[in-house]
Structure 1
Amino acid sequence: MPRRLPLLSSLLIAPFATAASGVDLQPLVVSGSRSEAAGFDLPFSVDSLDRRQISEGQPGINASEVLQRVPGLVVQNRQNYAQDLQISSRGFGARSTFGVRGIKLIADGIPASTPDGQGQAATFNLDTAERIEVLRGPMATLYGSNAGGVIQVFSRDGAGPPQVSAGSALGSDGLRRERLGAQGGNEQAGFLIDSSRLDTDGYRDHSSARREQNFAKLHVKPDADSRLALIYSDLNQQSDDPLGLSWDAYRADPRSVAPVALQFNTRKSIDHRQLGLNYERDVGAARLQSTLYAGTRRVVQYQSIPRAVQLASATHAGGVIDFDRDFYGGSLRWLQPVEALPGEFEWVLGLDYDVSEDDRQGYENFVGTQLGVKGRLRRDEIDTVSSLDPYLQANWRLGDWTLQAGLRHNRVEAEVDDRFLANGDDSGSRTYQRNTPALGVMYAFTPELHGYMSAGKGFETPTMTELAYSPGAGGFNLGLDPSTSTQYEIGLKARLGAGTRLNAALFEIHTDDELVVASAEGGRTTYQNAARTLRQGLELSLDSQLNEHWRANLAYTRLSATYDDDFVSNGQTIPKGRHLPGVPGTTVYGELAWQPRQGFSSALEGLYRSQVYVDDSNQAKPAPSYAVFNWRARFEQQLDHWTFGQTLRLDNLLDREYIGSVIVADGNGRYYEPAPGRNWYAGADLAYRF
């Protein structure tokens, strides 16, 4: 560990801030056990972020605003809406070049990840979020394949007298945001509606974006024993893609853009819509829970693959991605207490079914000498991925002991129906199956100090993007195997005094058949099963209400993630001991919040991240370590039925120049995505309660 870290940690513990409500020492969570329980009493790492932490002094634009405070997570804002956030959990998902993979994303019980593990955090609506739960470690494997961690968002119910609200904000680089909302409800029913629009010119050249989100929720209680919720959401986004930069280009001008991005006008549009239904019913002492959902997603993306590369190969899929996706599924779960056994025993029996079907085309990104336009068809296929997973869990509390155990049978099927036969038929299918058990045991040394151990088996299938090409020959790489992992965790949870919560966890993860890059050339990245990896780490979180007006939060992660075998990538031998790219060794987040009176709060945030390797060989220039500090303030006023609010933020107070995220193993050496210098955000909102 660098010598400056202890000093930095001590500085971060003392200056960080938020509200006045005090620390909730036993936040209730459902992640892991699937039954509402205090996180303090569960034998695994799980954090719950409440509505105050999500919204107070935050723009409500990206999940990175709040997830930074969770140890074990690395959340990097690419400053590129075309590629979404980069999120990894204990190293899972770090290699993703776009979106989120290897982590299960869920919103109100509806998967925001496809069955192959690819997800988009942009679909989360932070304006309506009541809480976010983050599950890490062995018990996450009970959420299926590709669940190296679980991030669940729960929207709030409409409650109280009817209310309408509106907000507007401005910020650096032409950021503009407007929001309208309404809500209301009683014990029998409630509604919540929210609509927002974001426009930004972007920090870098050619990085402008427009994003529109809508959300609606209606919940009713048909009788005393049941509850039903209908949830609709959509996302419409158009964004330029500045691509990554080489190290020399970054040093010359962090705001610059790769010339090919301008030549091909690289860009992406997304139209995403979904509808879900949640139903719960108490049946005696038992409970039935069910979810149904369906949606569509349309994506058109213009890439920068050179014209000559596409013309040189009959099997090339072109430089324009165009697909229409239909997705649907459901889950059914039965929770049954057993009074015949001593203590508190409950078993959970469930079944998850998910399908994602893409009607996918690829086109040349040129017509003649004109670049950045849709040309000839080069790919036409139906890509279908589905999963059908039954699982069984047992939750048992007996005196000072708590036991959590579960077994899930994972079955993921990937199928390609090739309809572009001019270059051969690449149709085919592959089914992946594996059982993933997990076990956790906790002992209460005292009512204020709990220790636990957990272990589990994980299972990570290739995504359809990783299956898309075979090394050398083109066509789908249906020979790729899933990677498998064995995870161990030991931890302590403590309540220190009346207002302080401390969590600490040590973990070790052994992975076989890790998916790594085989080659990256001609606009194609191919993958192979070629390595074992070892990840060892420490997570520490501290949340303390120092006194009536001051609150501090600290999250520390130390992670060593290395290859445990030699392997060959891009014709180069990668020796054992090299670090996994995209995974910082040390991350520290701290916050000191001050609320001197009702209606005003202020906070100082700090983030330190050590250097990040960008390729498997660790030979390319790593993204250097950095430390940044942010300040925020929130003001509120009440006047009869009116509530007025103002939010101010200054990010990167010291105007540091740094790399905010990296594109792992980029074939063109454009690994680096610069973060903004000092920037500001100012918003005002109002609400009227009838």
Structure 2
Amino acid sequence: MNFRLAPLAAAIATLSGHALAADVTLDPVAVTGSRIEQRSFDLPAAIDVVTRERIGADQPRVNASEALASVPGITALNRQNYAQDLQLSSRGFGARAAFGVRGIRLIADGIPASMPDGQGQAATFNLDRAERIEVLRGPLSSVYGNHAGGVIQLFTEEGHGRPVVEGNFSAGSDATWKADMSAKGEAGGVGYVIDTSRFVTDGYRQNSHAERDQSQVKLTFQPSQDGKLNVIASTFRQEAQDPLGQTWSGYRADPRSVAQAALDYNTRKTIEQTQGGLTYEHRFGEHSVQLSAYVGQRSTTQYQSIPKSVQGNVKHSGGVIDFDRDYGGASARWIGRFDLAGGRLTTTLGTDYETARDDRRGYENYVGNTLGVQGALRRNELDTVTSFDQYAQAEWARGDWQFNGGLRRSHVSFKVDDRYLSNGNDGGRVEYNKTTPTVGALYRLTPAVNVYASAARGFEAPSFGELFYSGPGGTFSYSLKPAQSTHLETGLKAYVGADSRMDLALFQIDTRDELVVDSSSGGRTSYRNAGRTQRRGLELGLDSRWQGGLSSRLAYTYLDARYDEAFTTSGGTVVSAGKRLPGIAEHNLYADLTWRHAPSGFYAGVEGLVRGRMQVEDTNTQQAAPGYAIANLRVGVERSYGPLTMRTYARLNNVFDRQYVGSVVVGDSNGRYYEAAPGRNWLAGVSLRYAF
């Protein structure tokens, strides 16, 4: 950690250790991990539950990074670039992603928000209606299949009781605003939640304007006393400019600036997605069956800054990406509960099937001397990815002991049907198969202290986006291997007095065939398998409630992620053992302190974030993104007037107006690694809720 940041880190830690929180839920229920409702305190895994109060803590509820900043082990970076989504990583997995989310399994209301190849989009999470977000790291996540770092699962609320309507409006710096309207309740025995929102921003940097429209309908039926059916439909539409990364000199001269290529090519991205799905659960006494199915369609058009000269030399050329994706899937699981050998046995057997089919085209991003427009066709193919997994889990508890185990068999297949043959046929297929086991044990030292240990094997197959340009001459790669990892973890969960809970986890992860960035330029990235890597770390979470309406949250992560053996890039550069993995900070600290005055409804909070420096490429020779420390303030008033509840709030972020790099583009060949974060900025909002 930068020594200049150490005093602030110590001060924040001290503040959080002696203050406390009013809205803290010390023992929330979680289902991620065991797939059954269980106290998070009793799971032999590092799992955090972000409640509704934290998700909506005076935030616009646009980016999942708002809610995940307080979770240890998770790095949630807002790129200030809606064309590329957030940069989410779990214990360092996913930090390499040039766009979207890799290395983490995303799920919303039981329906995957990750495609069968592992590529995910956190932007589609509906945070307005989120009831909680469960974040699972470590070995237990291996029973969720193709990923390595963890699982992030969002649950939205269900409608019941009398109708409630709600409206929210917020506005802030950089011409940012968001409006949201919702209704929920129950009619004729059917619960309903309806939500629609619009978000607009000019963005902090040049060429970063974005507009997003999002809607969701969730209906809950109870066809029988023992059955429950949820039907969910959603739409998502976004138009966003792409500011790309910036060089170090350009960032230092003007953090809001962009590379000239972004302006010349008018880099931008449009996304339209429609999805529908259902989940059904039926209980048979102690046992239950859970079924789900979903279908969706996603269309994306992206204008990149690929120069003419590069397009002419690369087989998969063209600076405009245009694809239509049809996707869907189904899952089934049976959960049984039995008395066995004086203890309680819970078993889960399940299977998941997912498929996605892309009608993908590529065009030149110029016509004559005019850049940033759709030109001649240079690519036309049909890409299909399918996954089919089977898994079994078991938990046996007796007395103070609890044992967990799981086994998953994963099959992921890719097929490319090349329909643009003037430059040769690049079609073909590749398959990956892997069995991943996990074991864990938990012991209750006292009613207030649990200790646990767990181990697992995990794997992460390359995504379509990573295969596309990673072959010879920028062709599709049929030789990339999946990364395979061994996870070890031990931890302690303890109640400290009646009003505090501490979660501590120590872990080590050894990976072979790590997937790393080989080169990245103009929005196009190629990947390769490196040698072995090792991640070692510590995660600490502390939630507390104190008298006088005070509450606090502390989350600290230490992560030492390095290459364990040397490798050579395709360009001939040697990356020696001991170099740090790029995009991963060694230290992350989050802390907040909130005070509430119940009689008046007034509350105020202060937040602190400290992050160590991040390397930007594998050799660690380029300028690293420096560490930083920022503080945020928020105040609000929430009052009820009969059936009407009104809340007003204001937030001031980066109070001391620090200039810092908020995220990085790993391995950018043009040296445009740096994505600037905003200086001092503000947000204010009002919420009205009427219960009939």
**What TM bracket, shorter-length normalisation?**
over 0.9
Distance (whole Å) between structure 2 residues aligned to residue 187 and residue 30 of structure 1 = 29
Q: How far apart are residue 274 of structure 1 and its match?
A: 0.6
Q: Which whole-Å CA distance do the structure 2 matches of 1:382 and 1:467 have between them?
A: 14
* 2:636–2:649 Cα contact (<8 Å) kept: yes
Report the residue type matching 1:678 in the other structure: R
The aligned amino acid for 1:663 is V
User: In structure 2, what is the equivalent of residue 679 of structure 1?
Assistant: 681
Aligned equivalents of 1:253 and 1:519: distance in 2? 26
Question: Which residue is equivalent to 2:144?
Answer: 143
The residue that corresponds to 1:158 in the other structure is 159
Paired with 2:231 and 2:202, the residues of 1 have a C-alpha distance of 35
Name the counterpart of 2:375.
375
Q: State the one-letter code of the partner of 2:245.
A: G
Corresponding residue number in structure 1 for 2:624 = 622
Residue equivalent to 2:513: 513
Q: Contact between 1:49 and 1:132, CA under 8 Å: does it hold in 2?
A: yes
Report the equivalent of 2:40: 39
Corresponding residue for 2:328?
328
In the TM superposition, 1:68-79 aligns within 5 A as 68-79=69-80
Deviations 1:388-430 (A, max 9, x none): 1000000111110011100000110111111111111111111
Q: Which amino acid aligns with 2:527?
A: Y
Partner of 2:263, secondary structure, is helix
CA distance in 2, matches of 1:338, 1:203: 56
Kindly state the Cα deviation for residue 284 of structure 1 after the two structures are TM-superposed: 2.3
> 1:36-435, aligned counterparts within 5 Å?
36-185=37-186, 188-313=189-314, 315-435=315-435
SS state at 1:66 partner: helix
* TM-score normalised to structure 2 length: 0.97
Deviation at 1:15, TM superposition (A): 4.9
How far, CA to CA, are the matches of 2:215 and 2:649 in structure 1? 22
Answer whether contact 1:15 1:593 (CA < 8 A) is retained. no
Q: Which amino acid aligns with 2:332?
A: L
RMSD: 1.6
Give 2:398's aligned amino acid.
Answer: L
1:4-31 CA distance string (max 9 Å, x none): 5663334224556999755323211001
Structure 2: state its 5+ residue gaps.
Answer: none
Give the Å deviation of 1:232. 1.1
Is the 8 Å Cα contact of residues 116 and 146 (structure 1) preserved in structure 2? no
Q: TM-score, normalized by length of structure 1?
A: 0.97
Paired residue type of 2:331? S
**What is the correspondence of 1:594-609 to structure 2 with a 5 Å cutoff?**
594-598=595-599, 599-609=601-611
Deviation at 1:179, TM superposition (A): 1.0
SS state at 1:339 partner: strand
Is residue 13–residue 591 contact of structure 1 (8 Å, CA) maintained in 2? no
Contact 1:338–1:346 (Cα < 8 Å) also in 2: yes
Who is 1:644 aligned against? 646
The 5 A counterparts of 1:527-606 are: 527-569=527-569, 570-598=571-599, 599-606=601-608
Q: Give, in whole Å, the separation in 2 of the partners of 1:202 and 1:186.
A: 41
Give, in angstroms, the shift of residue 278 of structure 1: 0.6
How much has 1:66 moved relative to structure 2?
1.1
CA contact 1:200–1:208 (8 Å) conserved in 2: yes
1:419-453: per-residue Cα shift (whole Å, max 9, x none)? Answer: 11111111111110010000110101101011000
Query: Cα offset for 1:375?
Result: 0.5
Structure 1 residue ranges without an equivalent (≥5): none
In 2, the alpha carbon distance for the partners of 1:66 and 1:345 equals 35
Whole-Å separation in 1 of the counterparts to 2:213 and 2:312: 37
Partners of 2:201 and 2:209 within 8 A in 1: yes
Shift of 1:529: 1.6
Counterparts of 2:647 and 2:280 in 1: how far apart (Å)? 35
1:310: Cα distance to partner? 1.5
Q: CA deviation at 1:339?
A: 2.2
Change (3 A) 1:20 1:662: closer
* Cα offset, 1:470, TM superposition: 3.8
Distance in 2, matches of 1:54 and 1:185, equals 24
SS in 1 for 2:128: helix
- Once the two structures are TM-superposed, the CA of residue 472 in structure 1 deviates from its matched residue by 3.6
CA distance in 2: counterparts of 1:42 and 1:5, whole angstroms:
34
State how 1:472-483 maps to structure 2 within 5 Å. 472-483=472-483
Number of matched pairs: 689
1:207-254 deviation per Cα after TM superposition (whole angstroms, max 9, x unaligned)? 000001101101011121000000111110000011110000000000
Paired residue for 1:658, among 660, 664, 670?
A: 660
- Residue 43 of structure 2 aligns with an amino acid whose one-letter code is L
CA contact (8 A) 2:138 2:487 kept: yes
Q: Is the 8 Å Cα contact of residues 56 and 634 (structure 1) preserved in structure 2?
A: no
Give 1:522 deviation, angstroms. 7.9
Q: Is the 2:22–2:549 Cα contact (8 Å) retained in structure 1?
A: no
1:461 is the counterpart of 2:492: no
Q: Answer yes or no: is the 8 Å Cα contact 2:20–2:552 preserved in 1.
A: no
Distance 1:127 1:522, change over 3 A: closer
CA spacing shift, 1:19–1:543, aligned 2, 3 Å: closer
SS of residue matched to 1:7: helix
Identify which range, 509-518 or 64-73, moves more after superposition: 509-518
What SS is found at the alignment partner of 1:304?
Answer: coil
Q: Distance in 2 between matches of 1:21 and 1:392?
A: 39
Paired residue secondary structure (1:423):
coil
Letter in 2 for 1:606: G
SS class of match (2:497): coil
In the alignment, residue 562 of structure 2 is paired with which amino acid? T
Deviation at 1:56, TM superposition (A): 2.6
Q: Deviations over 1:514-566 (max 9, x none)?
A: 11233446864322222110000000010010224101110000000000111
1:617-650 CA-to-partner distances (Å, cap 9, x unmatched) read 0011000000011111231122222221112110
Distance 1:588 1:677, change over 3 A: same
Q: Distance in 2 between matches of 1:549 and 1:323?
A: 52
Residue 483 (structure 2) pairs with residue 493 (structure 1):
no
Letter in structure 2 aligned against 1:689: A
Question: Offset at 1:312?
Answer: 3.8
CA–CA distance in 1 between the matches of 2:689 and 2:20?
A: 20
What one-letter code is carried by the residue in structure 2 that aligns with 1:40?
F
- Deviation track 1:585-613 (CA, whole Å, cap 9, x = no partner) reads 00000000110225222210100000000
3-state secondary structure, aligned to 1:516: strand
Structure 1 residues 643-652 or 262-271, which shifts more? 643-652
Stretch moving more, 478-487 or 518-527:
518-527
631-640 or 551-560, larger mean C-alpha shift: 631-640
| Alpha carbons 1:23, 1:499 under 8 Å: kept | no
DSSP 3-state at the match of 2:469: coil
Contact 1:490 1:507 in 2 (8 A): yes
In 2 relative to 1, CA 412–316 (structure 1 residues): closer, same or farther, beyond 3 Å?
closer
Secondary structure at the residue paired with 2:317? coil
> In the TM superposition, what is the alpha-carbon distance from 1:307 to its structure 2 partner?
1.6
Residue 659 of structure 2 aligns to which amino acid in structure 1? Answer: E
User: Residue 386 and residue 471 in structure 1: after superposition, are their counterparts in 2 closer, same or farther (change >3 A)?
Assistant: closer
Q: Residues 643 and 687 of structure 1 are in contact (CA less than 8 Å); yes or no, is this contact kept in structure 2?
A: yes
Q: Which amino acid aligns with 2:691?
A: R
Amino acid at match of 2:218: K
Q: Percent identity?
A: 51
Q: C-alpha separation between the residues in 1 aligned to 2:684 and 2:4?
A: 33
